[in-house]
Structure formats: structure tokens, C-alpha cells
């Protein structure tokens, strides 16, 4: 029961971390976008900016989706006790379902939809798990502790 609760809390922490990273990237990318006349919502800014040819809204949205899935999966994999891959892939699937909803709402070109759904969620969740589960490397050089009987002193 304790392990299930820890895994669930790791999943929730991963979702929060991924959402925070994605929202931060979208907020930074949304600063230079023009405000719509009727409001100042970030979603309305992006929808208005996507209609402009040569807009940087598509790369920013792709970066936000990829970085959010990566960060969320890395946090969940690091915190989950023994179920890192499952937690990371669950984060990836959750973010993929949100990405599918985003693709259905936004009128994006087909190349962006394919690129976003195929590269931003599953591979980034797997990569987040790989980074989080990599062993921590210690420094190669460890100075010896000084001892009064040691010969090197």
C-alpha cells in the first residue's frame, strides 16, 4: 500500500513538474506575441499568432510539449520507488492525451500535428526515464584522508 501511494505521489509530482515547465516555456514564448483585442489570455494569443505565417508559435508549442513530457517523466521516474519506467510512460501517455486534445482544438498544419504527437511525448518520456535512472557518477579523484601513520604524508 505504501509503495502504491509513493508511486501515485510520484506521478502527481511528475504531472505538476511537466505542467510547470511547459507553462513556463509557453509564457516565455508568448511575451512577444500580440494581444488579441478582446482579451489577454495566453491561449488566444497563440491561436492568433498561429494564423500569422512565419510565426514562432509552432516551435514554441513543440518545445513546451517536449520539455514538459521530459521533465515530468524524469521527476516521476526519479521519485517512483522501483517503477520508474511505468511512471515515466504514464506521464508520457497523460501528456499525449493532452496533446491530442490540443491538436483537435488548434487549427495546426498536418506536419506539425504528426511531428508533435510522434516526437514530443513518447520519446521524451522515455528519454526522461533514461536520464533519471542513469547512475549518479562520483568524482574519479578522491583525496585520501590524512592519517598520522600514512607513508604518503
Helix (H), strand (E), coil (C) string for the chain: CHHHHHHHHHHHHHHHHHHHHHHHHHHHHHCCCCCCCCCCCHHHHHHHHHCCCCCCHHHHHHHHHHHHHHHHHHHHHHHCCCCHHHHHHHHHHHHHHHHHHHHHHCCCCHHHHHHHHHHCCHHHHHHHHHHHHCCCCCCCCCCCCCCCCCCCC
The pTM of the full predicted model, rounded to 2 decimals, is 0.76
pLDDT (tens digit per residue) in 76-123: 999 988 888 999 999 999 999 999 988 888 777 888 889 989 999 999
What residue spans define the domains of the chain?
2-133
pLDDT (tens digit per residue) in 116-138: 899 999 999 999 999 998 876 66
Amino acid at each position: 500500500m505504501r509503495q502504491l501511494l509513493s508511486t501515485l505521489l510520484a506521478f502527481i509530482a511528475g504531472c505538476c513538474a511537466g505542467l510547470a515547465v511547459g507553462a513556463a516555456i509557453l509564457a516565455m514564448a508568448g511575451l512577444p506575441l500580440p494581444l488579441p483585442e478582446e482579451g489577454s489570455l495566453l491561449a488566444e494569443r497563440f491561436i492568433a499568432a498561429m494564423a500569422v505565417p512565419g510565426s514562432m508559435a509552432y516551435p514554441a508549442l513543440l518545445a513546451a510539449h517536449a520539455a514538459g513530457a521530459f521533465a515530468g517523466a524524469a521527476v516521476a521516474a526519479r521519485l517512483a520507488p522501483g517503477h520508474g519506467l511505468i511512471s515515466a510512460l504514464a506521464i508520457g501517455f497523460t501528456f499525449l492525451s493532452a496533446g491530442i486534445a490540443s491538436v483537435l482544438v488548434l487549427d495546426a498544419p498536418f506536419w506539425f500535428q504528426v511531428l508533435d504527437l510522434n516526437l514530443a511525448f513518447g520519446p521524451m518520456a522515455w528519454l526522461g526515464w533514461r536520464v533519471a535512472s542513469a547512475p549518479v557518477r562520483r568524482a574519479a579523484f578522491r583525496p585520501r584522508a590524512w592519517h598520522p601513520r600514512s607513508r604518503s604524508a
